[in-house]
Amino acid sequence: MKKEVKQPIVKTLERLFETNGTYYLVDFKRMKVSQSVELRKVLRKNAFTYKVIKNRLALRALGERCPESLRPLFQKPTAVAFAPKDPIQLAKILRDFSNQGKILAVKGGQVEGQYLAPGRFDEICRLTSRDDLVGKIGFLMASPLHRLMRTLQAPLGNVGILLGELKKTKKD
């Protein structure tokens, strides 16, 4: 490949690595073209990016931002799945797609700026999404207030019932 052809590819990869703090390196060598197209559709539908890359160009695009422990993973056929927002959802999509036919193998990657060792991918898949965690925290924060309101309303409700009963007895 000529230098003129490589430069735009490297620039595109640089932009992708800069804008996405999360990416997974994927070994796709057993994947058929139809399966690759299907994976791309699923990822595109969920606002993720999937690129088959040349390892040297990816390392050049990463430059000094690439952790030393990540460099050896750029060997053999490699694709990169980028997550601009929810790294857990991307991990679950890749895992589900891989489980369909044992096609993909995640080599490793970077999750929100932190190195992800190859064996820790399953841990990421077991996590709940950020939205679910925020919802749980909101529930936990609101729960004491909700209980306090019920406690304060209970005596008032009982007084109302008591007054209603007194009114009935006086009419009789």
Phi, psi of 62 (to 5 degrees): -70, -35
Pairwise CA distance, residues 62 & 3, whole Å: 17
User: What is residue 22's predicted lDDT score, i.e. its pLDDT?
Assistant: 87
- Longest Cα–Cα distance of the chain, Å, equals 102
Taking the alpha carbons at both ends of the chain, their separation in whole angstroms is 101
Q: What pLDDT shows up at residue 41?
A: 92
d(CA 147, CA 161): 21
Query: What is the pLDDT at residue 120?
Result: 85
pLDDT tens-digit profile, the chain (172 residues):
787 888 888 888 888 888 888 899 888 877 888 888 888 899 999 889 898 888 888 888 888 777 788 888 888 888 899 988 888 888 888 888 888 877 788 888 888 888 888 788 888 888 887 788 888 898 888 888 888 887 777 777 777 787 888 888 888 7
- What pLDDT is stored for residue 87 in this prediction? 87
Structure tokens of 81?
């799945």
Res 63: pLDDT: 81
Question: Which residue has tokens 């490297």?
Answer: 10
Q: Which two tokens stand for residue 22?
A: 């999360």
Q: What is the pLDDT of residue 121?
A: 84
Please state the pTM of the whole predicted model: 0.72
| CA nearest to 50, candidates 63, 65, 61, 37 | 37
